[in-house]
Amino acid sequence: MPLTRVALRQFEALVAVADLCSLTAAGERLGLTSSAISQLVAELEAIIGFRVFDRSTRRVNLSSAGREFVASAETVLRHAQLAESAAADVRNRAAGIVRLGAESISSTRLIIE
């Protein structure tokens, strides 16, 4: 499986459908149509070489191979989110951004992130 062909959006679609057991609900979560979600999942299945979902007219459930694979997709997404957060931290430090927070009107404390 050439990793350069896998997109994070495909993993996001996989995880959303796995969580919600619905293409429509996954599309709503990700701001996409159910057909776009279906296409992302189909593209991922073509790349990895197996079906991740058993589909019926009303429900979508993980296949046995999908159950084994979804944890890896979730891990990839978690790491991507951590990398995105780390990049934001570096950007903020480079820009010299200082965030201030106030616990109440009468006391103010400095929070440096």
Q: Domain map of the chain by residue range?
A: 3-111
Rounded Cα–Cα distance for residues 86 and 83 (Å): 5
pLDDT for residue 15: 97
Q: What is the identity of the amino acid at 96?
A: G
**pTM summary value:** 0.76
Residues sharing a CB contact under 8 Å with residue 47, sequence separation 6 or more, in sequence order:
1, 2, 5, 6, 10
68-99: per-residue pLDDT in tens? 999 999 999 999 999 999 898 888 777 666 66
Q: What's the pLDDT at 105? A: 57
Tell me the average pLDDT across 46-50: 94
- CATH architecture for residues 3-111: Orthogonal Bundle (1.10)
Distance CA 55, CA 67 (A): 14
pLDDT given for residue 27 in this prediction? 97
1 pLDDT exceeds 90? no
More confident residue, 5 or 72: 72
